[in-house]
Amino acid sequence: MKRRLHWLVLGTALSATTASADEYAIQLKPGDGLAAVEQNCTGCHSPDYIQMNSPFLDRKGWEAEAAKMVKMFGAPIAEDDQQKIVEYLSAHYAKE
């Protein structure tokens, strides 16, 4: 009984956190490759990571980030989608 109550409380807390997080959802800039970013990146982390890193990463930096997600974290991103993601991030979220 205690175990079920623990999971119920945990589940309620997580759903409440998710609901409040959606109130402040970041909208990524429209452009070619946005669909690839939304399909491949935002399932694992919030788009605010993109905005937070944009002052620091240029095209090579975004290429390295995409490669890291696949090689180190095992993200199942097809190579052509990786290219679309890098193109999009380089065009809209790269340091100047």
DSSP 3-state of 23: coil
Cα–Cα distance measured from residue 58 to residue 94, given in angstroms and rounded to the nearest whole number: 5
Amino acid identity, position 90: S
Residue 40 confidence (pLDDT): 96
3-class SS string, the chain? CHHHHHHHHHHHHHHHHHHHHHCCCCCCCCCCCHHHHHHHCCCCCCCHHHHHHCCCCCHHHHHHHHHHHHHCCCCCCCHHHHHHHHHHHHHHCCCC
Residue 15 confidence (pLDDT): 44
Residue 47 confidence (pLDDT): 92
Cα–Cα distance measured from residue 26 to residue 8, given in angstroms and rounded to the nearest whole number: 29
pLDDT tens by residue, the chain, 96 residues: 555 544 544 444 444 444 445 545 789 999 999 999 999 999 899 999 999 999 999 999 999 999 999 999 999 999 999 999 999 999 999 987
What number does CATH give the domain 26-92? 1.10.760.10
**Predicted model pTM:** 0.73
